[in-house]
């Protein structure tokens, strides 16, 4: 492995929200059927939206300005409002927060047109108050929890690393990896680092061909957590 091939990749939010309408305005207001999960400054991809004019300018990538949980604006002068389609967050560079106020998919995917991506390790970092074994971070144990899977380019699930289970509490990370001891900050928050060395379970790193994704599925809201992030480490070969 050459040093130039070392790969660090953040999990990025890829969960689309269904669009209800786009307004006749400049900038146009996009209204979604449910919470979109965007933050102001995020890039959002509008796709399959219909009847809006100018249609091609709406169905594109935009920097979103969030106005409410189900509304945001895009910098397009819309003269005929549209309906339908999806709004998919494309997380801004450097943003890797897995905390989600909606159910969401967070993916790691290799670069298009490059070599296969081999993932050796995933590092999770949770910061919250009163972290305990039977909580998720410092919030109550989750009902549905989080899944860790691999999907192919069509989105079909090909591997379930938890074999039908989900991460509902901090203690469940032991199904994947060894957890380091909880550290306490002076300000009162606790820090739980988790290192999942994939080759210890598979016997080799996880190979992701072009278009395949390692997916962390947040199946319910994680609102209330202070900080939850993850980064995959590996190489291109």
Q: How far is CA 143 from the centre of its chain?
A: 19
CATH number of 16-90: 2.40.30.180
153-182 pLDDT, tens digit each: 888 999 999 999 999 999 999 888 765 667
- Residue 133 to residue 149: CA distance in whole angstroms: 23
Q: Check: CB of residue 64 under 8 Å from CB of residue 71.
A: no
The one-character DSSP state at 173 is: G
- pLDDT at residue 172, rounded to an integer: 94
188 vs 141: CA distance, rounded Å? 20
The pTM score is 0.74
Q: CA 85, CA 62: separation in Å to the nearest integer?
A: 15
Residue 8 host element (H or E): strand 6-10
- The answer to whether the beta carbons of residues 122 and 232 sit under 8 Å apart is yes
By the 8 A CB rule, do 94 and 8 touch?
A: no
Structure tokens that stand for 223 in this block: 């609102």
Q: Which CATH class is domain 96-236?
A: mainly beta
pLDDT beneath 70, residues of the chain: 1-4, 91-96, 111-114, 178-181, 186
pLDDT at 62: 94
Specify the pLDDT at position 88: 87
Asked if the domains 16-90 and 96-236 are classified in one and the same CATH topology, the answer is no
Q: Return the domain boundaries, the chain.
A: 16-90, 96-236
Q: What is the pLDDT of residue 92?
A: 58
Question: Which residue from 114, 104, 125 is spatially nearest to 231, judged by alpha carbons?
Answer: 125
Query: Looking at residue 153, what DSSP letter applies?
Result: T
């Amino acid at each position: 492995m050459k040093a130039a091939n070392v790969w660090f990749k953040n999990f990025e939010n890829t969960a689309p929200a269904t669009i209800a309408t786009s307004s006749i305005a400049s900038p146009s207001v996009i209204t979604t059927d449910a919470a979109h999960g965007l933050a102001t400054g995020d890039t959002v991809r509008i796709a399959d939206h219909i009847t809006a004019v100018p249609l091609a300018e709406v169905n594109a990538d935009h920097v979103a300005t969030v106005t409410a949980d189900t509304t945001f604006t895009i910098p397009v002068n819309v003269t005929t409002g549209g309906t339908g389609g999806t709004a998919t967050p494309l997380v801004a560079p450097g943003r890797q927060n897995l905390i989600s106020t909606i159910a969401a998919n967070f993916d790691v995917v290799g670069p298009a047109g490059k070599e296969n991506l081999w993932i050796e390790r995933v590092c999770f970092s949770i910061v919250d108050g009163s972290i305990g074994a039977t909580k998720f971070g410092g919030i109550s144990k989750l009902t549905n929890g989080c899944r860790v899977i691999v999907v192919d380019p069509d989105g079909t699930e090909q591997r379930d690393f938890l074999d039908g289970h989900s991460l509902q509490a901090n203690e469940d990370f032991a199904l994947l990896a060894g957890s380091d001891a909880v550290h306490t900050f002076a300000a009162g928050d606790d820090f739980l680092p988790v290192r999942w060395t994939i080759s210890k379970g598979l016997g080799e790193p996880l190979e992701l061909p072009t278009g395949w994704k390692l997916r962390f599925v947040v199946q319910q809201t994680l609102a209330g957590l202070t900080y939850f992030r993850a980064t995959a480490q590996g190489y291109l070969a």
